Structure 1
Amino acid sequence: MHTKLLPRRLTGIDAARGTALLGMISTHVFPLYASDTGEATWTALVFSGRASGLFAVVAGIGLALLTGGNSPHRGGALAADRRGIAVRALIIALVGLALGSVETNIAIILFHYGILFLLALPFTGLPFKALAAWAAVWMLLSPVAAYLLRPLMLQQVDPPSLGANPFFGHLVTPATLSADIFLTGYYPVLQWITFVLVGMAIGRLNLERLGVQLGLLGVGLTAAVMAKLLSWQLLGPGGGLKALSETPEGSTHPLEAMLEVGFAGIDQSGSWWWLAVSAPHSGAPLDLLHVAGSAAATIGFGLLLTRRHRNLLLPLSAPGAMTLSLYTLHICVMSVVQQLNPLPDPVPLFWVQAVMAVMFSLIFHHLKSRGPLESLLSQAAGAARSTHSSLRI
């Protein structure tokens, strides 16, 4: 693929993706609650919900760049792009299902990631303004739809969630699998497509322009801060937290601590006040806004730092260029580690994995080569794109 306004790889985007990878690794390794106080740890405060959300936003940027950047493809070129993206989605989903059979307590995102790619296909030909409008509407309305639909899923589908990562065996229970992926699971696709749409809108901008980079940083920070402030106002002075603590689910959980760590696994029903929270993995509008804003600011910052020196953030951008391979390797490593008794100290466990990820990626960078799974994706997508077309990536 080649566009006039984006003639080179934007290493700031890779650095943001690398940040997301290391952030997710940290949440998998370090505890999210302090053992002595029950309060959120620094890992939770910095990365919980934000790292995986950043991963999804950057995925949206990648889809936008694959389909023309700030000049969206049309006609046969767009059809070829969509074939390539569909193949990428299928391979990522299959990798996710394969990892789902690995014994681990980590919520693996890859199957959901593949589904998000497929759901994004109808939006791939849209320009910035249309994508921004779709993202805003989805951010506001998808949590409301989820709030209304979840009780129906709980009543009609048995069981209503997988209670584990999706793997090939779950394909024989399509109702439960669909409910879990779209509504009741750890990464509910109904709301998470918001992050992909935000990323696609960002990817339609001229990301090499200084004004765009500063705008992403400024607007992103403002959105992230305002989302938290508005949620605090609604839950505190507005009485929302008190109302939630009186619900059956809220009365049995430490909501104040969970507001910083995450609401995954909580049945958010019985009160519309659930839509006022900004807790990680709550899927509420202010959570989506905060995470999307944080992601935009991170991306803008990365683009600014690499504006003149493309390799300034190489320890982040190198692993960010092969996250699928490194994420898969990390899941396999953690599957082995979590079987050990006693568990190893999380500090060296994190740094060994982080350093090895950087070292491996620097070797591939030096060889000007893609990661193994990235090479598979590129070749398969290229073959799909060239079907009935001479257009090449």
Structure 2
Amino acid sequence: MTSSTARLDGLDLARYLALAGMVLVNFRLAMQPATKGPLWLEGLFGFLEGKASATFVVLAGLGVSLATRAQVPVLARIWMLRRALFLLGVGMLNLLIFSADIIHYYAVYFLLAVPLLHARLAVLLAAMSAVALTSWLALLYLDYNQGWNWTALLYTDLWTPTGFMRNLLFNGFHPVLPWLALFLFGMLLARLPLQRAGTQWILLVVGLLMAALASMLARWYQPSGLAWLLGTAPLPPGPFYLLMGMGSASFTIGLCLRVASAWPSGRWHFLLPAGRMTLSLYLAHIVIGMGIMEATGALDGSRSLTDAMLAACAFLTLATLAAWAWSLKLKQGPIEMVMRRLTAVHQRDVTAPG
């Protein structure tokens, strides 16, 4: 196995772990358990909240940079724009049935990142810092609670033009401010020599230190009047959450790259097909997984946190097996295949007629 292959396998493993974390968090969100679970289970869900989705977004930015690195800039921009439009369509449809959809946000990340695809490192760093700073100022001076019914965790005016844009840019589940910074952080990581063991260890150790620092600072400021803005929870996504998200993503990516390099033929390979079909499986956990739970009455608010855990684990087991079986014939998931066919670019796309 080449170092390049090991690197890609490590990223697919990280995608699988991020997807698994999101399934757990989203099943809990959908079921709204009436009773708490064991302390260790509450701790697990609390730990995963916001970190799995942040890792997912960082991996998206990293993947975009790797996919377009060797492309002619104009072709790369066309590819990005087409993918953004595809994701926007899919995400808007998914938003009709799941208010915490992340895909339509992805579409906007893609659109806003188009000018930065081949930007210099300094420009990318400046853009990421500007997004983070703007987000912090917005949290300080705008009303983050506007549009939210926190008791039911519903966004009351999502389907009005003003409410939709506010949700998309400022105070939704994964708004551009500051989640675009996570996407750009992934694009930064793609500039690193990820195939090197030294880089992998740096990602692992520095990521752990970033996460620990974010947690320590959040505890330090907890007694202050700004505690609600200076926590590590994703709602609202303050600066310490951003630091925690970047640290968690770096640690996960570094760890998975090390696993892929140190144990290239390990049994973890069984997880890779699912890691390559995360878009299909993300939609499946909502349409199929939550659909079944709704049909069986599991979303009536009467279940426990343990029930949410069991439901998520059951879905992940079946999804992993289904992805493995699918991969015996086809390498890409069904939604990924459609997206690739509809968004592929060729030289003729930029060749002037005549």
The TM tier, using the shorter chain, reads 0.7 to 0.9
Partner of 1:363: 325
Are residues 150 and 86 of structure 1, via their aligned partners in 2, closer, same or farther at CA, if it must alter by over 3 Å? farther
Partner of 2:150: none
How many Å apart are 1:33 and its aligned residue?
A: 7.4
Partner of 2:174: 187
Letter in 2 for 1:185: G
SS in 1 for 2:341: helix
Are residues 215 and 134 of structure 1, via their aligned partners in 2, closer, same or farther at CA, if it must alter by over 3 Å? farther
Are residues 314 and 132 of structure 1, via their aligned partners in 2, closer, same or farther at CA, if it must alter by over 3 Å? farther
Contact 2:15 2:278 in 1 (8 A): yes
Deviation beyond 6 Å, 4+ runs, structure 1: 31-34, 37-40
How many Å apart are 1:119 and its aligned residue?
A: 1.2
Letter in 2 for 1:44: F
- How many Å separate the matches in 2 of 1:149 and 1:93? 26
- How many Å separate the matches in 2 of 1:385 and 1:162? 46
Partner of 1:28: 26
2:15 is the alignment partner of 1:17 = yes
Are residues 32 and 206 of structure 1, via their aligned partners in 2, closer, same or farther at CA, if it must alter by over 3 Å? farther
How many Å apart are 1:54 and its aligned residue?
A: 0.8
Contact 1:89 1:114 in 2 (8 A): yes
- How many Å separate the matches in 2 of 1:311 and 1:133? 40
SS in 1 for 2:236: coil
Q: How many residues align?
A: 335
RMSD: 3.1
Partner of 1:230: 217
- How many Å separate the matches in 2 of 1:341 and 1:162? 20
How many Å apart are 1:341 and its aligned residue?
A: 2.7
Contact 1:322 1:370 in 2 (8 A): yes
Partner of 2:45: 44
- How many Å separate the matches in 1 of 2:93 and 2:157? 10
- How many Å separate the matches in 1 of 2:235 and 2:252? 19
Using the size of structure 2 for normalisation, the TM-score is 0.84
* Identity of matched residues, %: 29
Structure 1 unaligned regions, length at least 5: 156-160, 244-271
Letter in 1 for 2:62: I
* Per-residue CA distance 1:165-204 (angstroms, 9 max, x = gap): 96xxx4xx33221111111212121211011011000011
**Match among 291, 294, 302 for residue 338 of structure 1:** 294
Contact 2:277 2:336 in 1 (8 A): yes
Partner of 1:251: none
* Per-residue CA distance 1:202-229 (angstroms, 9 max, x = gap): 0111110111111110111110100110
Structure 2 unaligned regions, length at least 5: 148-152
Select between 213-222 and 337-346 the one with higher mean Cα deviation: 337-346
Partner of 1:275: 229
* Per-residue CA distance 1:247-302 (angstroms, 9 max, x = gap): xxxxxxxxxxxxxxxxxxxxxxxxx5543222233210000100110011000000
- How many Å separate the matches in 1 of 2:157 and 2:90? 12
Are residues 353 and 38 of structure 1, via their aligned partners in 2, closer, same or farther at CA, if it must alter by over 3 Å? closer
Select between 38-47 and 111-120 the one with higher mean Cα deviation: 38-47
- How many Å separate the matches in 2 of 1:282 and 1:296? 21
How many Å apart are 1:337 and its aligned residue?
A: 1.1
Are residues 317 and 140 of structure 1, via their aligned partners in 2, closer, same or farther at CA, if it must alter by over 3 Å? farther
* Per-residue CA distance 1:121-150 (angstroms, 9 max, x = gap): 121112444424433443344222343244
SS in 1 for 2:189: helix
**Match among 155, 172, 192 for residue 163 of structure 1:** 155
Are residues 32 and 298 of structure 1, via their aligned partners in 2, closer, same or farther at CA, if it must alter by over 3 Å? farther
* Per-residue CA distance 1:8-27 (angstroms, 9 max, x = gap): 76111111111111111111
